[in-house]
Copies of this chain bind each other. A is one copy, B any other.
């Protein structure tokens, strides 16, 4: 039986899941592909901590170059995470003609261009299904299953930690900080949760989806990125009253070749299928001009779901090796493809808005605020002024019709300067 030889860099959570899957599913993988998957070496700085899978000691090394320099190893699986040494290891693997599978979205979002060009130059492949949506085969779906489409809208719940926190805040109440602490205790949030809660992880993933859907390398700063750390229980409460749920959405929309890209807390109708994606689950809602609406749902992280995606890439490359082909799916967009689309500046989009003003309970406050909004041609669809609050902390909640983001920002900066407005206005975009 033909065999494919694999080296794994990084024996942490996902690495352990990949090793476990390759072992436990040997028979199934052989049966499905007619190939044997030979895991030859695993490199990690820590090779003494016990993992949930037993491996022979001679498989383990602390030296990544025992993998990179081994001419027998055909596929290098990078599961170290972070920028370095992952970037260098991947580049060295590509230069040695090895195929690479990685789950490293941060690295690909920032250095993807360099890595994809290197892979193209050396005529090898990079599999990265695990980098977005964990076990959900969204990368394949955009590149292959939905290849006939121009994508008009992509809405992703791409970060399980924040979706868990938002679900808890919605269902059980509680302040952001308390729910975050609980999530950390449960292992659902990292000790340093910044990348997750500030939306950076979701933006990394959105950058990859935009690359696949539109052939555009978006830089991080080209994507409006807002996290959930400032969300108040009161806003989640008002969202419910209006029939909305708050989700951290990664959004890409395209019309006439112009692509907008943003990540921020978003109110979506409680009836929308995305609103039912709760807990740590992820989902990507994709609208194509041929297929119309689709949605892909599953675990966006975790040892085994991520391993499922990594192993699918290993199998894909093995099937290419079996047939003697590489670069069957191009990693670099053609000139034609990248010429069809242009990334918009981050504030060049329209949205509906939820606004919560905190004001002194004085006659005329409503007319002053709505007067400024009107100057910027922002129209209101609902207004709620709530009683039962301290006289200097009266919440006024408004929903607007579609308005340009830059007009909204200008209006808010003027409103926040009013004497009668006591706190910074809360803005949540509405889908």
Contacts and interface: CB of A to CB of B under 8 A. Distances in A.
A245 to B, nearest CB: 13
A145 interface: yes
A32 B147 contact: yes
Nearest to A133: B294
Oligomer: number of copies: 2
Contact of A308 (B17, B149, B312): B149
A342 to B, nearest CB: 14
Contacts of A144: 137, 140, 312, 315-316
Interface string A311-324: 11001100110111
A121 interface: no
B294 A136 contact: yes
A34 B145 contact: no
Interface in A115-136: 129, 135-136
A281 B295 CA distance: 11
Interface residues of A, number: 64
B290 A308 contact: yes
A305 interface: yes
A292 B135 contact: yes
Contact of A295 (B30, B298, B316): B298
A398 interface: no
Interface in A74-121: none
B294 A27 contact: no
Contacts of A319: 328-329
Contact of A276 (B273, B290, B322): B273
B304 A135 contact: no
Nearest to A323: B325
A17 B294 CA distance: 18
Interface stretch (A4-12, A162-170, A202-210, A330-338): A330-338
B145 A31 contact: no
A291 B276 contact: no
Contacts of A333: 31
Interface string A164-207: 00000000000000000000000000000000000000000000
Contacts of A305: 290-292
A150 interface: yes
Interface in A280-315: 281, 288, 290-299, 304-305, 307-309, 311-312, 315
10 contacts: A27-B336, A28-B340, A32-B147, A135-B291, A144-B312, A147-B315, A148-B308, A292-B298, A295-B298, A324-B325
Give 6 nearest A-B pairs by CB, closest first.
Answer: A137-B145, A31-B336, A148-B311, A294-B298, A31-B337, A135-B291
